[in-house]
Amino acid sequence: MGETTYGIGEGPATRVSLSLPEGAAEAIRARVGKPGFSAFIAEAVERELRGQVLDEYLADRESRKGPVSESARQRARQVFDLVFAEEGEWPAPG
């Protein structure tokens, strides 16, 4: 049988170990409490990945079509966030 592949934000939770500066860990606990710590980190990682995917898309578009204005970049980020927040989905890796 093949191994199941999950998209970003999908699949069962898996335990990982990470290191953070204590000040960052304390700030997270102060905002969300100990029970919300993992969810906070997961959401932050997903935001970062979503930003990287968008940056890759914009870089690809620039290489094909030329420069993208700052206002277009901001609008793209708003649309990207809105669409994927509503759909609860991520673009396929590519």
Averaged pLDDT score across all residues of the chain: 86
Asked if pLDDT for residue 76 goes beyond 50, the answer is: yes
Statement: the pTM of the whole predicted model exceeds 0.75: no
- Distance, in Å, from the CA atom of 90 to the CA atom of 93, rounded to the nearest integer, reads 9
In the DSSP assignment, the letter for residue 16 is: -
pLDDT in the model for residue 78: 85
Helix (H) or strand (E) holding 79: helix 70-87
- Distance, in Å, from the CA atom of 36 to the CA atom of 25, rounded to the nearest integer, reads 12
Asked if pLDDT for residue 22 goes beyond 90, the answer is: yes
pLDDT digits (tens, 9 = 90+) for 24-69: 999 999 999 999 999 999 989 988 888 898 899 999 999 999 999 9
